[in-house]
Amino acid sequence: MAKGIEVIVLNEDTTKTADLWKSVRTTAAMVYMSPEMALSKSFQKLWKESQLRNRLTAVVVDEVHCIDEWGDDDFRPLYRKLNTLRNYTGYEIPIVTCTATA
């Protein structure tokens, strides 16, 4: 089962390791994270780096029905603010969304 993709998870458990951010910037092929992480201040710095944006093939939003169901007021309000990612990606980087519950 040897697979040659460098995959990284960014969440509160893993962000404390220092080389993780570096590998997100340079080598990682896939990064999994929550919308809160994607819109957090530390990651917004990364969005503004052209090095990261040149590397980006696509931004995938999994389980998009959450935007509708969870994005209301209280539970996970940042789901509704995912559209601000468009400001960073521009039209060059496609945004792909998928769900099984629509």
Partner 1 sequence: MIWRQGTVYFVQWNINYNLTKFFNVDHARCDKMSASNHGLVGPSNPATTPHPSTPSKSRRGSNASQGPPTPHRDRSPSFRTPPSTPSRGINRSNAPLPTPATPRQRKDNALLRLHGIKTRMPGNLSLDSIRTRPIAELSLLYTPDDWQVHLIRRIFQGYDSIFCAGTGYGKSLVFEGLAILGGAGKLVIVISPLKALERDQVCYLLSNFQLLKFYGRQSKLWRRVLKS
Residues forming contacts to partner 1 in the complex (CB under 8 A) are 1-5, 7, 9, 11, 13-14, 17, 20, 24, 26-35, 38, 52, 55-64, 66, 70, 76, 79, 82, 90-100, 102
What token pair was written down for 29? 């092929």
CB 23 → partner 1: shortest distance, Å?
A: 10
- Kindly tell me which of 20 and 80 has the beta carbon lying closer to partner 1: 20
What token pair was written down for 86? 């468009």
Phi-psi region of 64 (alpha: psi -120 to 50; beta: other; left: phi over 0): alpha
81 CB-contact burial (10 Å; exposed 0-12 / middle 13-18 / buried 19+):
middle
- Kindly tell me which of 2 and 41 has the beta carbon lying closer to partner 1: 2
CB 90 → partner 1: shortest distance, Å?
A: 7
Residues 74 and 90: their CA atoms lie apart, in Å, by 29
- Kindly tell me which of 33 and 80 has the beta carbon lying closer to partner 1: 33
